[in-house]
Chains A and B, each alone.
Chain A
Amino acid sequence: MSSAKRSNEPIVWFLFGVGGFFAAYFLPIHIILYGIAFPLRLLHDPGYDRTLALLQNPLTRIYLFVLLTFCFFHAAHRMRLTLSDILNMRHLNTILAFLCYGGAIVGTVCTIWKLAVVP
């Protein structure tokens, strides 16, 4: 029987890796449109009714659930390592892990809740 302690690294690294692809493939276009082009009126914002209609499509909600969940866990893992390496906070590793992954779990729960109550 192996007495070696099982690491949770593969799980968080899987979420980090897949999230890296989702963030890279899909986030830039969301920022370009909703974050920059619509507020600056460079492109025509379809407005509340038509955006809500898009959100009411179950496929949109599945897409947003997958996108946001993986983005939250990708960011959590990288933020934990960034804070401990770059800001030399390695001694706070347990607290950082708790805050980062905890934050990602809270984000995921809020995403599920908000997507479930779409009118």
Chain B
Amino acid sequence: MPQYTTYQPKPYRPRMSAYWYLDQWNYLRYAMRESSSFFVAYFAAITLLQIAALDRGPTAYAHFQALMRCPVILILNVLALAFILLHAVTWFLLVPRVALRQMLGRPTPDVIASVPNFAVWFGASLIVALFILRVI
């Protein structure tokens, strides 16, 4: 069966580099912010390990503490902190952009509109820290 091929429309497929996120600083920032999710999962898993170690007894908990002192894990923890701080700051700056701007009907500077978020963050961190350090 003859087929018409001369002017067959081709679907438009823009070619995208596998490393497209290195093209612009904005893209790289986006990729880094989204990658924070791997570290969220990582430290949630570490906390789960800690609970399991507490369940099993003092020896298991000593092993957990020794694991946290291992240099590779320490470096991972510092990386996780950096990425999760990036997540926290971008998340807090994002919220007023979608909420307050509509309520007030005019643009509010992101940093000023985010102050309540940062206040809750520091307050919550302080309370959790006091519990973890067994001050309260």
Contact = CB atoms under 8 A, between A and B. Distances in A.
A24 B45 contact: no
Interface residues of A, number: 57
Give 7 nearest A-B pairs by CB, closest first: A78-B37, A35-B77, A24-B88, A75-B41, A29-B125, A71-B44, A39-B68
Interface string B70-110: 00011001101100110110011000000000000000000
Contacts of A81: 34
Contact of B44 (A43, A68, A82, A88): A68
Contacts of B62: 48
Interface of B: 16, 18, 21, 31, 34-38, 40-41, 43-48, 50-52, 54-55, 58, 61-62, 65, 68-69, 73-74, 77-78, 80-81, 84-85, 87-88, 91-92, 120-121, 124-125, 128-129, 131-134
Contacts of B48: 68, 107, 110-111, 114
Nearest to A20: B91
Contacts, number: 161
B78 A43 contact: no
Interface of A: 19-21, 23-36, 38-40, 43-46, 48-52, 54-55, 60, 64, 67-68, 71-72, 74-79, 81-82, 85-86, 88, 103, 107, 110-111, 114-115, 117-119
